[in-house]
Amino acid sequence: MPDFSLSEEDRSLQDLARKFAKTEMAPHAAECDRTGRFPEEIYRKGWELGLMNLNVPTEFGGSGLGLLQQCLIVEELAHACGGMTTSIIANCLALEPLLLGGSREQKGRVLPPFCKEYHLAAFALTEPGTGSDAGALQTRARKEGDGYILDGEKCFISNGPVAELYTVFATLDPALKHKGITAFLVPRSSPGVHAAKGEEKLGHRASSTGSIRFDGVRVPASDRIGAEGEGFSLAMRTLDQTRTPIGALANGIAQAALDHAAAYSLKRKTFGKPIGEHQAIQLKLANMAQDLHAARLLVWHAAWTIDRGASGTLESSIAKCFASDAAMRITDEAIQIFGGYGYMKDYPVEKLLRDAKLTQIYEGANEIQRIVIARELLASYA
């Protein structure tokens, strides 16, 4: 029988994140959502508490947490604000390829500065012409002397406009498809790097998302991660690690929606009694609770599987896909329970639906998750 109890350390991490989310993030969530402000002072406080760089091993100064522990933290943060959480966990995504494929020298050089001081990194895979079909990316890496020259454009990059270091995926030859893709570390200060200002987005408005152009950017061979042609596999293995926390992020948003809807249903009266006493509302709340419970179990299971050393390709796609779809259903029903008020910006639930939407799209659209799930499933029958 699996043991679902959390250790004392797990609980204290959860408490730390919950307190930070409640006292530092939540009071500013509506304002940042309205204005699109990037609340760097909050991210700096999160960094000081050890809530960033969660996946960086302690030997390099990071928190060195397992994936289940990361998910516990992410869910708590996202309860306060999905957008802020995206920016807080973007370093984990950006640094994961280095953790998976970097040399000891690279890790010792690149990781400690992120843990000694507040710095942001960004994962640059997506391009204007290639989102889901990551193997078709067009950013070129030309070999020149003891290094490479990068040319191309990335888009929709979380923390792209503000990060100091990019993990960039480029191809040595597009004809080689996946086998030409190679990963590089590129400081934003490198000549030829142009980061555009943040995009106006539907949700996650406290995070900064933008395009980055690389015009003849020189990268020394010492900043290539892994071997030439290993980049696609590194990107996929990274996403195997980071999709589960996106499920946890969706659960945090969904929990907030359920909390608001349930509390409102006890206060709001129609036909002479609180709406929570009408079966129409009870059925909605029950469906929301079931969806969330199932999503949380899937996220915990995927994280537990990966913490035990498995790749988690199947489990992370199932967790991310189910939890983000559930978050959309749950936030939609929360608005319905609030009725007209739910549609208004004065109430907190419409933001939750806008924030939930991105979890179905980023780190692999849910159509891609279903393709991954089907492939893994069929492979087990072949």
Which residues are part of the catalytic machinery? 363
User: CA angle 300-84-360, nearest 5°?
Assistant: 55
Of the candidates 209, 231, 211, the residue with the CA atom closest to the CA atom of residue 141 = 231
C-alpha to C-alpha distance for 370 and 45, rounded to whole angstroms: 37
Residue 23: phi and psi, rounded to 5, are: -90, -30
**How many alpha carbons lie under 13 Å from residue 130 in its C-beta half-sphere?**
19
Cβ 253 to ligand COS shortest distance, Å: 17
CB 197 within 8 A of CB 211: no
Applying CB under 6 A, among 45, 107, 178, 218 the residue interacting with ligand COS is 178
- In the block, residue with structure tokens 């454009």: 153
Within residues 230-249, the interface with ligand COS by CB under 6 A covers: 232-233, 236-237, 239-240
- The pattern of x and - marking residues 30 through 59 that bind ligand COS according to CB under 6 A reads ------------------------------
Cβ 100 to ligand COS shortest distance, Å: 10
201 binds ligand COS (CB under 6 A): no
Of the candidates 206, 127, 140, 209, the residue with the CA atom closest to the CA atom of residue 174 = 140
- In the block, residue with structure tokens 């909605």: 284
CB 261 within 8 A of CB 334: yes
Applying CB under 6 A, among 135, 147, 174, 187 the residue interacting with ligand COS is 135
Nearest residue to ligand COS, using CB? 364
Element (H, E) at 124: strand 121-124
Applying CB under 6 A, among 159, 364, 366, 373 the residue interacting with ligand COS is 364
273-274 and 147-158 beta bridge pairing: unpaired
Within residues 307-326, the interface with ligand COS by CB under 6 A covers: 313
Cβ 300 to ligand COS shortest distance, Å: 21
For residue 81, what are its two tokens?
A: 């604000």
134 binds ligand COS (CB under 6 A): yes
Applying CB under 6 A, among 65, 84, 212, 372 the residue interacting with ligand COS is 372
Q: Among 56-64, 114-122, 329-337, 363-371, which window interacts with ligand COS (CB under 6 A)?
A: 363-371
Q: Which residues of this chain interact with ligand COS, rule CB under 6 A?
A: 123, 125-126, 132-135, 178, 232-233, 236-237, 239-240, 313, 362-364, 368, 371-372
